[in-house]
């Protein structure tokens, strides 16, 4: 089990990134404990369904997601999926560096330190030339996502209120567009295109086989449970601000939530939450950059493995470092709309996700690829339901926002 732990936990805890934890904390700060406490575990249950499919396809076929889409559905769709991923990943990576900057701002450190820390971690994890080494380092960092649970315990929440919120009440108030934004951003905090590319490719890179699928499910399930617990932890920590003008907290302005929590619950909580944001951003930079590198190598048709040397997998390593470096440069640009980018990263992921999910289900139903490991009917029903739900939420928010912008409906 220890040998097989990795891709599932990394995908799930990597998605508990800076923007996601800020989104959860913002939900708690604005609405308190209620609808989002049970909604987050439901979303991670959806994520488990998607990621189990990716793991299974990777273990059975020994090929990554982008590579299989190219082979089975043509270069146009393969490159479309890669472009979809590249845009989403770049925006999200910018938000990850912003998250590190927010955490460091609590300790009075600036953007330059955030860039150096993120890039140093990326270079260090790539220096070994082995998938196993990269995975163990990132896995060790990912376990510190538990800092958000520690922050939740430290704000001393009322246990009865937490338990009572599992009836999905109170439902968040506010305008219809605000509700759609909350749903879209929270969905984008749990299921995203990069996770699909990453876990399938990482499962193949790790060398998993059909006999490992059972343990791969355990790995993915453990990751989903931990991510849900830590995500709810961020929500509970943020809920400590609900009676202290929580709705007005700007999570990416200055020290944001850590500083606000320091005033409400003490400096220890602020420190823990700030360190959590640094960890969340750092792990996401490493995993999201890896998913970009896998996609680049698969689409071009060259070596794309952590087990290859930089000389033999130049495209893979260049894409891995290059996309992180590009995102890092953006946060150093004076006047760059970092707040706008960071707050919309999860919404963009939700809008672009359905295409990746459709191909994921199609690959898992391809008997020529999967044989006896193809999707069962029950898995297809759940998978199609997830696609419909994500697509409906993303489309509804986009349409409603457009109609408001065009002044065709009121806000």
* Domain 7-405, CATH homologous superfamily name and number: Amino acid/polyamine transporter I (1.20.1740.10)
pLDDT of 23 above 90: no
Residue 366 has pLDDT above 90, yes or no: yes
Side-chain-side CA neighbours of 278 within 13 Å: the count stands at 24
- Mean pLDDT, rounded, for 212-241: 94
Q: Summarize pLDDT for 140-191 with one digit per residue, the tens.
A: 999 999 999 999 999 999 888 888 888 887 777 666 667 777 777 788 778 8
Cα gap 402→411, rounded to integer Å: 11
- Which of the four pLDDT bands, split at 50, 70 and 90, describes residue 77? confident
Contact 98, 342 (CB under 8 A): yes
| DSSP state string for 153-211 | HHT---HHHHHHGGG--SPP-S-HHHHHHHHHHHHTTT--HHHHHHHHHHHHHHT--GG
245 φ/ψ sector (left φ>0, alpha ψ -120 to 50, else beta): left
Please check whether residue 347 is in contact with residue 184, taking contact to mean a CB–CB distance below 8 angstroms.
Answer: yes
Confidence of residue 392 (pLDDT cuts 50, 70, 90): confident
Query: In percent, how much of the chain has pLDDT > 70?
Result: 91
Q: What's the pLDDT score for residue 84? A: 83
Can you tell me the mean pLDDT for 305-332? 91
pLDDT value of residue 253 = 47
């Amino acid at each position: 089990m220890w040998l097989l732990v990795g891709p599932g936990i990394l995908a799930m805890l990597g998605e508990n990134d800076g923007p996601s934890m800020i989104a959860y904390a913002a939900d708690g700060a604005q609405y308190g404990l209620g609808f989002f406490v049970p909604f987050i575990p439901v979303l991670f249950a959806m994520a488990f369904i998607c990621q189990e499919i990716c793991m299974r396809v990777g273990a059975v076929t020994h090929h990554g997601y982008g590579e299989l889409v190219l082979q089975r559905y043509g270069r146009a769709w393969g490159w479309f999926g890669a472009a979809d991923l590249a845009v989403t990943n770049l925006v999200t990576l910018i938000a990850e560096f912003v998250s590190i900057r927010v955490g460091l701002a609590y300790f009075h450190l600036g953007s330059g330190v955030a860039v150096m820390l993120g890039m140093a971690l990326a270079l260090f994890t790539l220096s070994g030339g082995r998938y196993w080494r990269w995975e163990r380092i990132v896995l060790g960092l990912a376990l510190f996502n538990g800092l958000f649970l520690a922050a939740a315990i430290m704000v001393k929440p009322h246990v009865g209120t937490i338990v009572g919120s599992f009836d999905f009440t109170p439902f968040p108030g506010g305008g219809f567009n605000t509700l759609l934004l909350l749903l879209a951003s929270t969905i984008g905090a749990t299921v995203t295109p990069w996770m699909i590319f990453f876990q399938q490719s990482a499962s193949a890179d790790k060398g998993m086989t059909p006999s490992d699928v059972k343990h791969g499910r355990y790995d993915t399930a453990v990751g989903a449970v931990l991510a849900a617990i830590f995500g709810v932890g961020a929500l509970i920590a943020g809920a400590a601000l609900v009676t202290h003008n929580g709705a007005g907290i700007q999570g990416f302005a200055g020290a944001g939530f850590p500083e606000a929590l320091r005033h409400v619950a003490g400096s220890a909580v602020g420190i823990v939450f700030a360190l959590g944001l640094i960890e969340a951003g750092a792990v996401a930079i490493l995993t999201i950059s890896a998913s970009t590198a896998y996609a680049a190598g698969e689409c071009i048709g060259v070596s794309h493995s952590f087990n290859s040397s930089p000389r033999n997998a130049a495209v893979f390593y260049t894409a891995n470092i290059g996309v992180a470096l590009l995102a890092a440069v953006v946060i150093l640009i004076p006047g760059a709309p970092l707040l706008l980018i960071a707050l919309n990263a999860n919404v963009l992921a939700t809008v672009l996700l359905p295409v990746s999910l459709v191909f994921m289900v199609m690959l898992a139903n391809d008997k020529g690829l999967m044989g006896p490991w193809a999707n069962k009917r029950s898995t297809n029903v759940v998978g199609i339901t997830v696609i419909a739900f994500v697509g409906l939420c993303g489309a509804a928010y986009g349409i409603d926002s457009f109609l408001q912008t065009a002044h065709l409906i009121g806000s």
